[in-house]
Amino acid sequence: MSELKVSCFTISLDGFGAGPNQSLDNPMGEGAGALHTWFRGTRTFQRILGDESKGADGPDEDFAARGFENVGAWILGRNMFGPVRGPWPDDSWKGWWGDEPPYHVPVFVLTHHPRPPLEMKGGTTFHFVTDGIESAYAQARRAAKGKDMRLGGGVATVREFLQAGLVDEMHLAISPVVLGSGESLFAGLDLAALGFRCTEHVPTQSATHIVLRKD
């Protein structure tokens, strides 16, 4: 049965998944680039960049690779697709990732503004969902055809799905970085009341990996 999973989602020691003052030139916000050191050093990330010869093995790589296993569809918030705000001025923006995004499956992008589906190289098609998270969940589940769905973020999108009780599992990488401000992932959320418990915790030099599953 399909599950909705948050994978490889990195937060700071003080709980922020994005830094302040996000912009086109700094899409993750000030200081947040340092959160993802653990992921950039993995074979999985280097493979996404097209270089099979680089990247390290070990627990960081194990968690990075797991995040792409058995995924039949993705769900993204609009900010994860790009920096354009309001109605789409045209169809020129096609994501942050070039002609061949790393998804290779259908991707459902939450937005308030309609746009035709966007087919990319490598099997990725972006579908723009204007009628809310439940619709995106239902469409992704159908597209996944029994495989899992991966919820890519950003922070506000993950929080919305958590509050709706739709997330089955979360893998969080806690980076040894303090941001001080930004977008807090868990502020005001009661994870215990939502049914989550910790099933794995693995420290590495670059992060502490935590897996939370819903009972």
Return the SS3 of 18: strand
Q: Which of 24-33, 85-94, 109-118 has the highest mean pLDDT?
A: 109-118
Residue corresponding to tokens 């609009």? 78
pLDDT of 145 > 90? The answer is yes
pLDDT of 209 > 90? The answer is yes
CB-based burial, 89-115: b 16+ in 10 Å, e otherwise: eeeeeebeeeeebebebbbbbbbeeeb
Quick one: which of 39, 42, 36 has its CA closest to 16? 36
Number of alpha carbons in the 13 Å side-chain half-sphere of residue 40: 7
Q: What percent of the chain has pLDDT over 70?
A: 100
pLDDT in tens, 44-82: 999 888 777 788 889 999 999 999 999 999 999 998 998
pLDDT of 116 > 90? The answer is yes
- Domain boundaries of the chain, sorted by first residue: 4-17+29-84+100-214
pLDDT at 49: 80
Query: What span, in angstroms and rounded, lies between the C-alpha atoms of 169 and 197?
Result: 10
- CA-CA-CA-CA torsion sign (94, 97, 98, 104): negative
CATH number of 4-17+29-84+100-214: 3.40.430.10
pLDDT band at 36 (very low <50, low <70, confident <90, very high): very high
CB distance 141 to 2 below 8 Å: yes
